[in-house]
Structure 1
C-alpha cells in the first residue's frame, strides 16, 4: 500500500547522466520521490531558497565549486533535520570519516546494488543512519537519533582514559602511526587499542569507531 506522502529526495551530483539514472531508480522505489536535482553544493543552496526542502539528500563528494564535505557541513548547520546519504566512488576511510564529521548519516558506493540503496534510504528514515557492513547490527540497534538512548548506550560501555583519548584521535584524519606518536606509544600498542575497541564496541572498522563516538557524544561536531 502506497504511503499517504512520499519521502522527498534531492540528488546532488555533477554527472548528469548518472543523475538521470538515479532519478529513475529512486522514483521506482515505493514511497520515494526525487523532487529536485543540483550539480553541486552552491546550486543546492540556491534550490533550498526556492524549492521545497527534501527529507533526504543523496550527495556526491567530489564536485566542482562546492564539494560534498562543504555541502554536508552547510546542511548540518542550516537544515539539521535533512538526512544526508553520501553517494560516491570513494571507499577509503579518510573520506568517509570526513563526511561523517561533516554531518553525513550514511555512505554508499555508486556501484552498489540498487537494493542496497533502497535499504539505505529505509534505514535513514527508520534509524537516522546507514553504514552497511562497516558497522555491526548490534551497534546500529543500540544507537538512534534520541540523545537519551545514545547516552544510555554510552553508559553501558565504559572506556578508560586512554581508550577515550585513542577514540577521539581515531575520529580525525590522522594515521594510526601519527596517533601512536601523539600518544607516545608504539604502533603495535595502538593496534592493540584499536582491536580492543573493535571488540568492546562491536564494530568492524575505524568508521564504526567514528559513528559510535559521534552518536554517544565522545566527539562533538561543531
Structure 2
C-alpha cells in the first residue's frame, strides 16, 4: 500500500516530535506536515495533500475546532483525528458532529494511535471502545444532546443493509462482495445515506445508527 501521509497540528513542538518519531517507525506511515495552529495547518495543506490529520483542540490563533470545520469544507477526503487532553462529553460530541473521524486522548497508547490512523484511512471512522463509543452511547441513552440529524429520514432496505455493514467496519469492496454490488455502487449508496441523514462523513453515519438503535 502507499504510505499514509500524516499531518500533526499541535502547539507543543516536543509533542509533535514524539508523535513524528513514533509514527515514522511504521513503514506504512509518513509525517509530511507539521503545524503549531490551525492557520499554519491550512496554509500547509494547500501545498501538501495528506490522508490523516492528528490535531490538538486547544491551540493559539485558530484552534482545532475551527480548523476542523474549515478542513471539512476544503479537504473533504482528509480524515481528522482529534488528539487532546480534554475528555469532556461536550468536546467529543461536538467534534464528531462537525466532522472529526476519531477522538483520542493524548495519553493513548501509541498502538491505539496507529490503529486509529489505519481505521480512519480505511473505513472513515474510529471509535475507541474505552472512551469514544462508551461516552457516545451514554450521551445518546440519556438524551443529553440533539445531533443535527434529519429525524424524518426513511431508509430503504438496501440502505439499511449498507449502513449496518459500514458500522461493521467493512470497506466498500467488502460490502460490494457481500451484497453483490460494485464498490462504486456501494459508494453511491453511502453518499446517499450521508445526504439523507444530514451528516458529514462515515463517523456521522455510525453515530446516527447508534442513536437509533440500528447497531
In the TM superposition, residue 118 of structure 1 has moved relative to its aligned partner by 1.1
Larger radius of gyration: 1
Q: Does 2:76 correspond to 1:80?
A: yes
Q: Does 2:24 correspond to 1:27?
A: yes
Q: Does 2:116 correspond to 1:120?
A: yes
Structure 1: which 5+ runs fail to align? 153-163, 172-207, 217-222
CA distance in 2, matches of 1:82, 1:99: 15
Per-residue CA deviations over 1:28-67 (Å, capped at 9, x if unaligned) read: 1220000010000011121123x32111111110111001
TM-score w.r.t. length of structure 2? 0.65
| Residue 6 to residue 142, structure 1, CA distance change in 2 (3 Å) | closer
CA RMSD of aligned residues (A): 3.4
Instruction: Return the match for 1:39 from 12, 36, 42.
Output: 36
Which position in structure 2 is the counterpart of 1:197? none
CA distance in 1, matches of 2:191, 2:44: 33
Q: Is the 8 A contact 1:142 1:150 kept in 2?
A: no
Q: Does 2:140 correspond to 1:140?
A: no
TM-score w.r.t. length of structure 1? 0.63
Write the mapping of 1:51-130 to structure 2, written as runs, cut at 5 A: 51-130=47-126
Per-residue CA deviations over 1:90-135 (Å, capped at 9, x if unaligned) read: 1111001111122110011110111101110111112110011133
Aligned residues: 162
| Residue 76 to residue 144, structure 1, CA distance change in 2 (3 Å) | farther
CA distance in 2, matches of 1:112, 1:142: 21
In the TM superposition, residue 214 of structure 1 has moved relative to its aligned partner by 8.4
Per-residue CA deviations over 1:53-90 (Å, capped at 9, x if unaligned) read: 11111111011100111000000000110000111111
CA distance in 2, matches of 1:209, 1:102: 9
Q: Does 2:208 correspond to 1:213?
A: yes
| Residue 138 to residue 92, structure 1, CA distance change in 2 (3 Å) | farther
